[in-house]
Structure 1
Amino acid sequence: MHIGPHRIEPPLILAPMAGVTDKPFRQLAKRLGAGLAVSEMTTSDPRLWHTRKSLHRMDHAGEPAPVSVQIAGYDPAMLAEAARYNVAHGAQIIDINMGCPAKKVCNVYAGSALLQDEALVARIVAAVVQAVDVPVTLKIRTGWNRDNRNGVAIARIAEDAGIAALAVHGRTRADLYEGEAEYDTIAAIKQAVRIPVLANGDIDSPQKAQAVLRHTGADGLLIGRAAQGRPWIFREIAHFLAHGELLPAPTPDEIAAILLEHLQQLHGFYGELQGVRIARKHLGWYAKDRPENAAFRAVVNRAETAAEQIRLTREFFEAGIRDEGMRDPAAERSRTAA
Structure 2
Amino acid sequence: MSFTLDARVDARDVDLAITVQRGETVAVLGPNGAGKSTLLGLAAGLLRADSGSATLDGATLFDAATFVPPHSRGVSLLAQDALLFPHLSVLENVAFGPRSAGVRAAAARSMARDWLGEVDALEFASRRPAELSGGQAQRIAVARALAAGPKLLLLDEPLAALDISVAPAVRRMLRRVLADRTALIVTHDILDAYTLADRVIVVDGGRVVEEGPTRSVLERPRTAFTAGLASLSVLTGERTATGLWTAGGDIAAPSDLPVGTAVAAAIRPAAVSVSLEEPREVNRLRGTVRDLEPRGDVIRVRSDLLSADVAPAVVADLDLALGTPVWFAFGAADVQVYAR
Q: What range describes the TM-score normalised by the shorter chain of this pair?
A: 0.3 to 0.5
Give the number of the structure whose alpha-carbon radius of gyration is greater.
2
Bigger relative contact order (CA 8 A; separation at least 6): 2
| Larger relative strand fraction | 2
TM-score, with length taken from structure 2: 0.35
Q: Which has the higher helix share?
A: 1
TM-score with structure 1 setting the length? 0.35
